[in-house]
Amino acid sequence: MGTDPLDGLNEGFIEGVLGHVIVAFGPDESGEPSVALWSTSPLGHPTGAWVYGVATALAEGAVASEVLGLTRHRALIAWDLDAAIDFLSRLEDTAGVPATAWKARAVLLPESFDEMRRYRIQLIGAVGEHAATSKSKIAPLAWKREIPISINTMNDLMAACGVPEPISESAVVSAALRLAAVIRWSAELWQETEEGRLRRRYLDLFGPAAPLPPTWLAALKTAQSQSAVTEEST
């Protein structure tokens, strides 16, 4: 009996990496400017959720350290990446800890979509080449979900992914939930792409099954190694 190359991915785990931390901003239920940190598995399954007042986190060293601890070993995802990196860098100043190369561990979903799109084009081309030399009729590759294009706002992204709007009385929680849903959807989009390829043995030339697009997976691995180095130096 064969082994499914993607076996285990439905549980959301990838060996050697921990997952993501989503950083989202907005008012909480009382209207206080807040930051939400949502942790997820590598494939977007939720594993934890925290909300802090921005002013408190930036003013108190213990709170700043606590928030930074939630990012350990995790790739960074934020709709406004510059704002998230600025906030985390200010937390490092407050906590009195060394600066982190946050951009190196950031997952850029539009970049991942571009990568998926190029990959699908390569697969379609390989199927065409095989069909040209095959005596059998080869069905074209087709996927149920299209890859989003022209993403300029979070609303664009939600609409393109067809992800339902989360229900929450807190704007900051809603912002985090939106990104968490998009991460899961995007990981499933890649998995669907790989499953289509793996059903055709002649596409094995593209190598073993990959759990995520290369740059996305690289960000997760960078987060793991960055945090390990930081811990060794403390």
- Domain residue spans in the chain? 9-233
pTM above 0.85, yes or no: yes
Residue 19, Ramachandran bin (φ over 0: left; ψ between -120 and 50: alpha; else beta) = left
Confidence of residue 12 (pLDDT cuts 50, 70, 90): low
Range in 19-23, 24-28, 125-129, 230-234 with the lowest mean pLDDT: 230-234
Which pLDDT tens digit goes with each residue over 58-86? 999 999 999 999 999 999 999 899 999 99
Residue 141, pLDDT > 70, answer yes
For the segment(s) 9-233, the CATH number from 3.30.499, 2.40.10, 2.50.20, 3.30.420 is: 3.30.420
**% of the chain at pLDDT higher than 70:** 91
Task: Find the distance separating the first CA and the last CA of the chain, reported in whole Å.
Answer: 48
Confidence of residue 230 (pLDDT cuts 50, 70, 90): very low
Distance (Å, whole) CA 71 – CA 108: 17
Which pLDDT tens digit goes with each residue over 175-189? 999 999 999 999 999
In contact, 186 and 112? CB cutoff 8 Å:
yes
> Tokens standing for 161?
């992914």
